[in-house]
Chains A and B, each alone.
Chain A
Amino acid sequence: MAQILMKGNEAIAEAAIRAGCRFFFGYPITPQTEVPEYMSARMPEIGGCYLQAESEVAAINMVYGAAGSGVRVMTSSSSPGVSLKQEGISYIAASELPCVVINVMRGGPGLGSIQASQGDYFQATKGGGHGDYHLIVLAPSSVQEAIDLMGTAFDLADKYRNPAMILADGIIGQMMEPVELPEMKEYKVDPEKKPWAATGWKPGDKKQRAVINSLYITTEELTELNERLQARYAEIEKNEARWETYNMDGAEFVIAAYGTVSRICKAAIDELKQEGINVGLVRPITLWPFPKQAVRDAVMADGVKACLTVELNAGQMVEDVRLAVNGAKPVEFFGHAGSLMPTAEEVKEQIKRMREE
């Protein structure tokens, strides 16, 4: 299939549709607004549902309702809007429902800026809302990867009955790149595969009536839910870690970075190579589950002196990198909070400084 030029947000929306998503509930916020705009035009063409909610709070609760019916459903927003969704996300995770949430991150805290950021790493990977839960968090570094990860997100959400998040930054959302789109997929709710879904029930039916719920009033029952969730998270951690490595052969330093920032780091790595300095990259694609072993293996490789984690925030993923390396080698951080993108030149300077120390 021929490549076409697409803006990230529109590509994300089309990829979701092609993954079988027919229900979208959202609210405008920069820099993700092209997702609902695209959905509002495209859904009626294919018999899907686009509905503009009165708030992000309402949108995520509409997602909860539709997810409970078993359909493929998603919402998208950007950082302040995703904060508003956290209540609903916690309920969806606790009710063991699949759905996809897009966060096209912008600068924070507060109203922040409308430029790209990676400031929501903690919120996305450590829970975000109340209680012990995890989202499956996928971080694309290109528009093509955002497309590819949409199908993965819906499949993983269904497989594990758990919400999945695409954590993109504003540049992925706004940038145009040549892409290939997957084939259109129709998704039909199969009550055999989703026996928990509210698809209609009457007395005498073999299956039990659906009760989509996250209230467990006795400590024993709530403990049972949490144990079930933790067992599932352990399974996800075992099976679903995804990452990429780059230029690891003979590397004397390793950079850990994800999303758009990883591409800047690749540029720095290529330029350093010209200067005879060999630096590798480990790029987590799943931020949760964090690819601990892969990051540890990269940093612990022979000849690697230290790790530099580069982020578009004040240092968030670096904590997971440090946990993975567990003090065995130095892990340094470089980045800017406030949407000021680190440059390849700055990354090179950091590596050169680390070489001299």
Chain B
Amino acid sequence: MAVVFEKTKMLTDAVFHYCPGCTHGVIHRLVAEVIEEMGLQEKAVGVAPVGCAVFAYNYFNCDMFEAAHGRAPAVATGIKRSRPDACVFTYQGDGDLASIGAAEIVHAAHRGEKITTIFVNNAIYGMTGGQMAPTTLVGQKTTTSPYGRDEAWCGKPIRVSEMLATIEGAAYIERVALNTNANIIKAKKAIRKAFECQMSGKGFAMVEVLSTCPTNWGLSPVEAMKWLEENMIPYYPLGVFKDKTKEGE
């Protein structure tokens, strides 16, 4: 019988610990498929964050590091500088990247560090049970914003892609969502571009993926996807915010 489809070899056989309806699984698969399709498995080194994806080192089937909370871009810098031919990626959530690790991501971008960052934005701290993140929307209820995020008290959510796009060293920045099949295909293209950007030495690349957290949002997976479309995408518009990959071609 002819094999028409196989699971990517870039994922191990470990069972994902992610909650039902969470989009981390889809993102893992897209990243893994891109690395395999580009033939980068032997060169790939991933850096897992602290947060829901903390066990990513059990899932991505390549050399992996587990970083301290927010420090993945600094760890990736040390790896890339000591192994310039490696394909180094960080996989980080919004608490990890936009809050405690804000300095590390800004400076990795600023140095034009030749790494690829997958930034999973679900507007909440998932692993610790649903606390307010820097990306939590105004009015959104979490366990540490039980009356809804108060703009006067906590400010508005950070738009990371827009912020990093202002940095010279950032070569490719795109925000994607996984709410439709078409958008999943777009997300994969964006991830591929971000890896190509690294391997051609253009500079820092990041793909921000809007993601659902049905468990901590208190919604069913279907309701969560609808909530993402109605609330997150209007505040976090999809699209390419920076693209230097065309330069010099």
Question: Which A residues form the contact surface with B (CB < 8 A)?
Answer: 23, 25, 49, 51, 53-55, 57-59, 61-69, 71, 73, 87-88, 91, 95, 198-203, 209-215
Contacts and interface: CB of A to CB of B under 8 A. Distances in A.
Interface in B37-78: 41-43, 45, 47, 54-55, 57, 61-68, 71, 74-78
Interface stretch (B80-88, B183-191, B197-205): B80-88
A66 B71 contact: no
A62 B57 contact: no
B107 A54 contact: yes
Contacts of B238: none
A68 B81 contact: no
Contacts of B66: 95, 211-215
Given A211-B57, A212-B66, A202 B78 contact: no
Contacts of A63: 78
> Which residue, B54, B64, B78, B103, has most C-beta atoms of chain A within 10 A?
B78
Contacts of B54: 215
Contact of B65 (A51, A57, A73, A198): A198
Q: Which range holds the interface residue count of chain B?
A: 20 to 34
A49 B81 contact: yes
A34 B75 CA distance: 24
B104 interface: yes
Contact of B75 (A64, A73, A203): A64
B35 to A, nearest CB: 11
Given A58-B103, A58-B104, 17 more contacts: A23-B81, A25-B77, A54-B104, A61-B71, A64-B78, A65-B77, A66-B79, A69-B79, A88-B71, A198-B79, A199-B83, A200-B43, A201-B42, A202-B41, A211-B65, A215-B54, A215-B66
Contacts of B159: none
Contacts of B80: 65
A91 B9 CA distance: 29
Contacts of B78: 23, 25, 61-69, 73
Nearest to B60: A209
Report the 3 A-B pairs with minimum CB-CB distance, sorted nearest first: A65-B78, A61-B74, A62-B78
A195 to B, nearest CB: 12
Interface in B86-108: 86, 103-104, 106-107
8 contacts: A49-B81, A57-B74, A57-B103, A61-B74, A65-B76, A71-B82, A210-B63, A212-B65
B74 A65 contact: yes
